Amino acid sequence: MPLDIGVLALQGDFQEHRAVLESLGAAVIEVRLPHQLEGLDGLVIPGGESTTIVKLVHRWGFPDALRRFKEEGGAVWGTCAGMIVMASELLEPDPKPLSLMDIKVSRNWFGRQVDSFETDILVKGVSGGPVHAVFIRAPSVREHGEGVETIATLRDGTPVAVRSGKLMATAFHPELTPDTRIHELFLRLSAGNLPSV
Amino acid sequence: MATSTNGTATSYIERVREPRWLNSEDAEVGSYAVKSGLAQMLKGGVIMDVVNDEQAKIAEDAGAVAVMALERVPADIRSDGGVARMSDPNMIEAILKAVTIPVMAKSRIGHFVEAQVLQALGVDFCDESEVLTPADHEFHSNKWAFKMPFVCGCTNLGEALRRIGEGASMIRTKGEAGTGDVVEAVTHARSVLGEIKRLQHVPEMELMTAAKNMGAPYDLVLEVARTGKLPVVNFAAGGIATPADAALMMQIGVDGVFVGSGIFKSGNPAQRADAIVQATTHFDNPDIIANVSRDLGEAMVGISSNELPESEQLAKRGW
């Protein structure tokens, strides 16, 4: 039985996630309304514009449905804007995140688009050497609660990927590179196969 | 991905970016991956023309994925006449400060110094745009020379691939800006997407001639024939004025929409902006499009693009 994975398709690069997940054998649906979360093993909140996605998430009644999805054991992974959506708190006044994960996040931590960059990082739980990571107007985790583990940092120690149980958030975009290892890690989480923290 | 199984068609984009892409020791800024990546983050979204910080806030609150900062919307450029140039840096900076979403701004076609100024201001995306008066009859800017990404207009596949060959990270239809008439955007999108479909069925031995006939780089023609899509994000622009217009373009197969004069030349900009955002997300759900289309007030008055003399057709600018 393939895993049933949803990709939140309100805005952003949801098709890129879909293509990678399908290439790994998952059954993928695009989620635009909350009832589509039923029966899914995992949900990806893609990259995109966080203010737009958060606005649409509220507009279409996702906050309660997503919290329920998480409480009932669904795995959730946010990339970039998705990390902002999942945060418990932002350093900035807007938008209002959904508190799916105990992380305090700052938007556009590295600057404007002209400061966007790519680099290699090591990710805990991912074997086979460094992951090539693309950061686009990326956020960063500034603080996190107990039970949340930092699984990747930049050379200067800035945390850029975190995990807690079946929840994962990355400040970068594995869906934009040919390397599928982070998506494979998320599918393992969705299947309930958790690497120990 | 970098080498294909038949050994011939290494991706043009992959080769161009390869030196920066492989095993970089340190962080790379302004690479092709981060430039085209920002365009990918805009997918499924609406980019709105704004002329001041107040409009920029309205656009951001309505859910725009980016704003286009310019002094006059295309409808006003059309009615005012004269030479249309890059906007005042003060005005662009005020908008950069007012919102947290990406800010785009326009340079004239071939005016690479205007583009340099926009990059120096910290603008997130440059639109090398036919809406402004062209600065060069022959050459478009060399967009590889910038760490700021570019979006360029096109009317057909050959034009799209020439712009991508020059380094554009995103493509949009030209449509006919400032008219509120969607017909040219539809024509250009159908032209690009239809030519891509046709290329997929052209035997490899005929692709060089196809490239010659459309005046496009051969490597890019090969890549499109192989993948069945443009190597960059493709938006619709030029004449989109209603939620149904936006959803029409999405169903035809573009990745997102630009709305220029259509929002702030209408009766109730905030509500119309919101409705167009909802219709772009739920482009395949007519019930939702029906609901958001109610009571939007006056749409922009509009000009039928059939009635424009050739000298006033902005889509004829550039090549």
Domain count across chain A:
1
> Is the residue at A197 inside a domain?
no
State mean pLDDT over B260-271. 89
Range among A34-38, A89-93, B308-312 with highest mean pLDDT value: A34-38
Find the length of chain A.
197
User: Amino acid identity of A147?
Assistant: G
pLDDT given at position B7: 36
User: Amino acid identity of B199?
Assistant: L
Q: How far is B31 from chain A, CA to nearest CA, in Å?
A: 7
pLDDT given at position B82: 85
Candidates B73, B44, B64, B94; CA nearest to B266 is B73
Whole-number Å distance between alpha carbons of B183 and B303:
11
Q: Among B23-27, B129-133, B134-138, which is the least confidently predicted range? A: B23-27
> Is the residue at A196 inside a domain?
no
ipTM of the complex: 0.93
Relative to beta strand A4-8, strand B103-108 is: unpaired
- Is A80 a known active-site residue? yes
- Comparing CB atoms, the residue among A80, A113, A154 nearest residue B124 is A113
Contact B172, B237 (CB under 8 A): yes
State how far Cα A156 lies from the chain centre: 22
Q: Is the dihedral of CA B1, B5, B8, B9 positive or negative?
A: negative
B247: enclosing H helix or E strand? helix B243-252
B150: enclosing H helix or E strand? strand B150-154
**Whole-number average pLDDT of chain A:** 95
Burial B34-55 (b: 16+ CB within 10 A, else e): bbbbbbbbbbbbbbbbbbebeb
pLDDT tens column, B210-249: 999 999 999 999 999 999 999 999 999 999 999 999 999 9
- Comparing CB atoms, the residue among A12, A51, A137 nearest residue B44 is A12
State mean pLDDT over B70-91. 90
pLDDT band at B4 (very low <50, low <70, confident <90, very high): very low
Residues of B within 8 A of A134 (CB-CB) are: 33-34, 37
Find the length of chain B.
319
Two tokens at A116?
Answer: 């966007």
Query: Which residues is B46 bridged to in the sheet?
Result: B257
- Is A173 a known active-site residue? yes
> Is the residue at A103 inside a domain?
yes
pLDDT score of B20 more than 70: no
pLDDT score of B19 more than 50: no
Whole-number Å distance between alpha carbons of B86 and B74:
13
> Is the residue at A69 inside a domain?
yes
Higher pLDDT among residues B304 and A61, named by residue: A61
**Rg of chain A taking only CA atoms, in angstroms:** 15
State mean pLDDT over B149-159. 97
Query: CATH number for the domain including A112?
Result: 3.40.50.880
Three-class secondary structure of residue B294 per DSSP: coil
Contacts of B268 (CB under 8 A, 6+ apart): B296, B297
Higher pLDDT among residues B297 and B186, named by residue: B186
pLDDT given at position B41: 96
DSSP A68: H
Candidates B27, B55, B5, B207; CA nearest to A110 is B27
Residue with the two structure tokens 């969607």 = B182
pLDDT band at A196 (very low <50, low <70, confident <90, very high): low
Quickly count: other Cβ atoms within 10 Å of residue A38's Cβ. 12
pLDDT tens column, A72-111: 999 999 999 999 999 999 999 888 999 999 999 999 998 8
Percent of residues, chain A, with pLDDT higher than 90:
91
First to last CA, chain B: 31
Residues of A within 8 A of B21 (CB-CB) are: 118, 132
Residues of B within 8 A of A132 (CB-CB) are: 21, 24
DSSP per-residue codes, B62-78: HT-SEEEE-SS-HHHHH
Cross-chain Cβ contact B37/A176 below 8 Å:
yes
Two tokens at B289?
Answer: 């499009």
pLDDT given at position B24: 40
Identify the domain containing residue A154 by its residue range: 4-190
**Rg of chain B taking only CA atoms, in angstroms:** 19
pLDDT given at position B231: 95
pLDDT given at position B77: 87
Quickly count: other Cβ atoms within 10 Å of residue A181's Cβ. 16
- In terms of C-beta density within 10 A (0-12 exposed, 13-18 middle, 19 or more buried), how is residue A25 classed? exposed
pLDDT given at position B307: 79
Residues of B within 8 A of A180 (CB-CB) are: none
**Whole-number average pLDDT of chain B:** 89
> Is the residue at A102 inside a domain?
yes
pLDDT band at B277 (very low <50, low <70, confident <90, very high): very high
Two tokens at B68?
Answer: 């286009």
- Comparing CB atoms, the residue among A10, A49, A178 nearest residue B41 is A49
Per-residue CA distances from B89 to B46, B123, B151 (Å): 24, 10, 20
pLDDT tens column, B159-178: 999 999 999 999 999 999 88
Contact B37, A116 (CB under 8 A): yes
pLDDT band at B2 (very low <50, low <70, confident <90, very high): very low
pLDDT score of A10 more than 50: yes
pTM: predicted TM-score of the whole model, two decimal places: 0.92
Whole-number Å distance between alpha carbons of B29 and B147:
7
Three-class secondary structure of residue B173 per DSSP: strand
Give me the phi and psi of A159, to 5 degrees please: -70, 130
pLDDT band at B26 (very low <50, low <70, confident <90, very high): low
State mean pLDDT over B186-202. 97
Whole-number Å distance between alpha carbons of B171 and B151:
5
State mean pLDDT over A21-31. 98
